[in-house]
């Protein structure tokens, strides 16, 4: 049945794709809960209705922040200097006339930048884009404001809340209380030149609207013959016109819906396609609401989450696997090579292209705490592949993750001319093939044994760093047992096409990911959401990285060891439960016969 993906590729239309892009770009900045969102939603739902696709528009309240205006003026040794600025979501509004204070250069805004510097009651100048991390550091050091900069001529709108999705209970207390503006790197260099001559006083003005708003989340469904489904998502809010982040992604998902609909009667597994609000203005509040609201259905029936963000970027000539979990990584990369003929960037350069992770050994292509990855606690497998600029491309900005890594991301320069229609069509063809191969598979293209390597790679870093101060051997032994069982499972299922057996095998794959992925990717319990502050595998054990620097006789050391022991017990339990699931499946008579 998988041959239908070749037919699907022929149906992808540049005309349809660019028509949608033009309509959405024409709306300008699409802020969640504002009239432009309603208009964008109508563009999508009108098209879906014309395709005969069942669509639901969910409406709900979301905690949204939108910077309305920003300004920065300086008094330097050479006189006044006015700097163009844009605002930052979840920054604080200033009083009328702004706030005025001395400006202090803190380098890149990391911990080292504050050493020996007094920023209390002052404004920090940071040589990086605004982020939750550098905003939290500035606030913790007592700064009242922060001026952050890009790497070039552009000014990026950003968001500084570390809270994933709409805050719960008292989580708003963790949002940095800071006045923030974003400026260009060119202007940042001018400010640093002024600081080299002597003290500089800054007046920062910002108006930020942060409030509850009703947002819209359209979801299209194309049903299969079995209840399981693939989930495809793209955010449709944007900064400025948002041509390549994420108008192209929205057009791509709409075109996928049109194309896949034509094979509806041939699908074993359905496809749900969602357009997320609140990605840019609510820290992924749309996808988080969906995960919270449909937790049971996603847990029981969702096969994979496929995120689409920033396809079709001008000059994007290499594919980079992103946000792919181990169990689907081989399939994702093999499909990319087969369908496009392009190479995937799996070398060390991928680290430049896909963003930093905290792990020393775990693959850089694993999901990071971004990109509407709101489904880790459920255990839902994740995969994506992005066309991106190479690290040496003249439009490449190493600080940028969206828009294929292009400098214009999140800026006023992100206009429709930054789209390459041919690349957008090729990306859409690739995604259609990936989704249809999976939706028509006898045995889902999962390799659950691959998950073991991420566990072992993460445990290796913890073991090497902790040395003889903590024993990880029980966990490593349990993971190796699991890997042997999973490899036996994969071998037993090779070439099987019996519907009853493959249906149960595929459901087993889902149970395995629900058992192993939450603890591998998330620190908090599965029904909650970790903050947007970086990611590493087996995060509940990250305190092991601090043991070597502690006094073994100290309370802190002993408390840390006690906490690690409890968390390691949880890790081992999950691995053993996964192993037991495989053993039970392999012991079934109809499966045992496959061995002969």
CATH (domain of 473):
1.20.930.40
Asked if 230 and 290 sit in the same domain, the reply is: yes
Sequence length of the chain is 596
Q: How confident is the model at residue 350 (pLDDT cuts 50, 70, 90)?
A: very low
| Structure-token pair, residue 272 | 């749900």
Residue 64 has pLDDT above 80, yes or no: yes
Indicate whether 142 and 265 sit together in one domain.
no
Question: Would you say residue 363 lies in a domain?
Answer: no
Return the pLDDT at 356.
Answer: 66
Question: In 10 A of CB 570, how many CB atoms?
Answer: 12
| pLDDT band with cut points at 50, 70 and 90 for residue 351 | very low
Confidence category of residue 344, pLDDT binned at 50, 70, 90: low
pLDDT in tens, 354-400: 556 789 999 989 999 999 999 999 999 999 999 999 888 999 998 88
The enclosing domain of 164 has a CATH number of 3.50.30.30
pLDDT of residue 354: 53
Q: Is there a single domain that holds both residue 60 and residue 131?
A: no
Token duo for residue 540: 């509940």
pLDDT greater at residue 2 or residue 297: 297
User: What is the DSSP annotation of 283-331?
Assistant: TSHHHHHHHHHTHHHHHHHEEEEEE--S-SBTT--EEEEES--HHHHHH
DSSP 410-435: TSTT--GGGB-HHHHHHHHHHHHHHH
Say if residue 117 is in the same domain as residue 153.
Answer: yes
pLDDT, position 342: 74
pLDDT at 191 over 60: yes
- Tell me what pLDDT residue 465 has: 97
Asked if residue 511 and residue 419 are part of one domain, the reply reads: no
State whether 315 and 235 are in the same domain: yes
480 and 458 inside one domain: yes
Q: Where are the beta strands (DSSP E) in 198-317?
A: 201-222, 226-235, 269-276, 302-307
Instruction: Report if residue 346 sits inside a domain.
Output: no
Work out the average pLDDT over 222-234. 98
Q: What are phi and psi of 547, to 5 degrees?
A: -60, -40
- The answer to whether residue 406 is domain-embedded is no
Judged against a pLDDT cut of 60, whether residue 137 lies above it is answered with yes
| 182 sits in which H/E element | strand 179-183
Per-residue pLDDT band for 341 (boundaries 50, 70, 90) equals confident
The last residue of a domain, from among 163, 190, 209: 209
Q: Determine the Cα–Cα distance for residues 400 and 411; give it in Å rounded to an integer.
A: 11
Q: Report how far residue 574's alpha carbon sits from residue 41's, in angstroms, rounded to the nearest whole number.
A: 41
In a domain, 315, yes or no: yes
How confident is the model at residue 349, as a pLDDT?
52
Q: What is the pLDDT of residues 532-580, one digit of tens each?
A: 998 899 999 999 999 999 999 999 999 999 999 999 999 999 999 999 9
Residues 72 and 111 in one domain: yes
Please state, for a pLDDT cut of 90, what percent of the chain lies above it.
Answer: 92
**What is the rounded distance in angstroms from the CA atom of residue 500 to the CA atom of residue 320?**
36
**What is the model's pLDDT at position 596?**
64
**Given pLDDT bands bounded at 50, 70 and 90, which one contains residue 346?**
low
| Structural domain includes residue 350 | no
Query: Do 474 and 534 fall within a single domain?
Result: yes
- Final residue in a domain of this structure, among 193, 209, 225: 209
Contact 533, 171 (CB under 8 A): no
| H or E element, residue 515 | helix 499-521
Residues 505 and 562 in one domain: yes
Is 365 within a domain?
no
Q: Does 434 fall in a domain?
A: yes
Mean pLDDT of 292-320: 96
Indicate whether 193 and 241 sit together in one domain: no
348 found inside a domain = no
Domains contained in the chain, number: 3
Percent of the chain with pLDDT over 70: 97
Pairing of strands 201-222, 158-159: unpaired
- The residue among 209, 225, 251 that closes a domain is 209
Range of the domain at 579: 448-595
| 3 state DSSP class of 18 | helix
pLDDT at position 352, please? 45
For residues 257-275, average pLDDT = 97
- Model confidence at 230: pLDDT above 90: yes
Mean pLDDT (the chain, rounded): 95
For residues 81 and 192, membership in a common domain is answered with yes
Query: Exposure string (b/e) for 128-153, b if CB count within 10 Å is 16 or more?
Result: bbbbbbbbbbbbebebbbbbbbbbbe
Q: Per-residue confidence at 343, pLDDT binned at 50, 70, 90?
A: low
pLDDT digits (tens, 9 = 90+) for 445-501: 999 999 999 999 999 999 999 999 999 999 999 999 999 999 999 999 999 999 999
């Amino acid at each position: 049945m998988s041959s239908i993906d070749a037919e699907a590729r022929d149906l992808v239309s540049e005309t349809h794709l660019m028509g949608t892009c033009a309509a959405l770009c024409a709306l300008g900045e699409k802020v969640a809960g504002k009239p432009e969102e309603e208009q964008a939603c109508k563009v999508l739902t009108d098209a879906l209705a014309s395709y005969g696709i069942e669509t639901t528009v969910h409406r709900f309240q979301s905690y949204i922040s939108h910077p309305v205006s920003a300004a920065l003026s300086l008094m330097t040794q050479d006189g006044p200097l006015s700097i163009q600025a844009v605002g930052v979501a979840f920054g604080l509004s200033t009083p009328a006339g702004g706030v005025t204070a001395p400006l202090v250069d803190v380098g890149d805004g990391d911990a080292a930048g504050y050493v020996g510097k007094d920023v209390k009651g002052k404004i920090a100048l940071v040589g990086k884009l605004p982020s939750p991390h550098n905003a939290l550091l500035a606030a913790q050091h007592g700064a009242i404001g922060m001026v952050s900069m890009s790497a070039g001529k552009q000014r990026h709108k950003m968001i500084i809340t570390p809270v994933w999705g709409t805050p719960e209970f008292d989580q708003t207390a963790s949002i940095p209380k800071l006045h923030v503006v974003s400026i260009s790197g060119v202007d940042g260099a001018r400010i640093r030149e002024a600081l080299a001559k002597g003290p500089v006083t800054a007046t920062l003005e910002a108006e930020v609207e942060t409030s509850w708003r009703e947002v819209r989340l359209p979801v299209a469904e194309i049903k299969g013959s079995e209840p399981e489904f693939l989930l495809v998502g793209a955010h449709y809010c944007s900064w400025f016109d948002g041509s390549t982040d994420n108008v192209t992604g929205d057009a791509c998902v709409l075109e996928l819906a049109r194309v896949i609909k034509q094979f509806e009667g041939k699908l074993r597994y359905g496809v749900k396609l969602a357009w997320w609000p609140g990605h840019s203005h609510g820290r992924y509040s749309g996808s988080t609401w969906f995960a919270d609201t449909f937790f049971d259905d996603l847990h029981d029936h969702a096969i994979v989450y496929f995120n689409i963000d920033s396809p079709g970027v001008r000059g994007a000539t290499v594919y980079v696997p992103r946000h792919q979990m181990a169990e689907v990584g081989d399939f994702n990369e093999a499909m990319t090579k087969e369908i496009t003929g392009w190479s995937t960037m799996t070398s060390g350069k991928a680290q430049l292209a896909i963003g930093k992770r905290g792990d020393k050994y775990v693959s850089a292509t694993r999901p990071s705490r971004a990109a509407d990855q709101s489904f880790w606690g459920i255990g839902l497998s994740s995969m994506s592949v992005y066309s991106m600029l190479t690290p040496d491309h003249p439009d490449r900005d190493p600080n940028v993750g969206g828009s294929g890594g292009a400098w214009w991301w999140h800026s006023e320069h992100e206009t429709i001319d930054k789209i390459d229609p041919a690349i957008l069509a090729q990306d859409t063809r690739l995604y259609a093939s990936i989704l249809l191969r999976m939706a028509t598979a006898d045995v889902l293209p999962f390799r659950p044994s691959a998950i073991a390597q991420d566990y072992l790679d993460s445990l290796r870093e913890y073991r090497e760093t902790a040395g003889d101060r903590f024993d990880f051997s029980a966990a490593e032994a349990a993971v190796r047992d699991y890997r042997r069982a999973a490899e036996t499972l994969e071998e037993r299922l090779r070439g099987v096409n019996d519907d009853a057996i493959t249906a149960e095998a595929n459901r087993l794959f889902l149970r395995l990911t629900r058992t192993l992925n939450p603890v591998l990717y998330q620190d908090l319990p599965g029904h909650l959401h970790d903050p947007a502050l970086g990611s590493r595998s087996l995060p509940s054990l990250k305190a092991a990285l601090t043991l070597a620097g502690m006094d073994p006789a100290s309370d802190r050391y002993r408390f840390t060891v006690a906490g690690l022991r409890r968390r390691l017990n949880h890790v081992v339990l999950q691995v053993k439960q996964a192993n037991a699931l495989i053993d039970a499946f392999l012991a079934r008579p109809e499966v045992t016969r496959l061995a002969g």
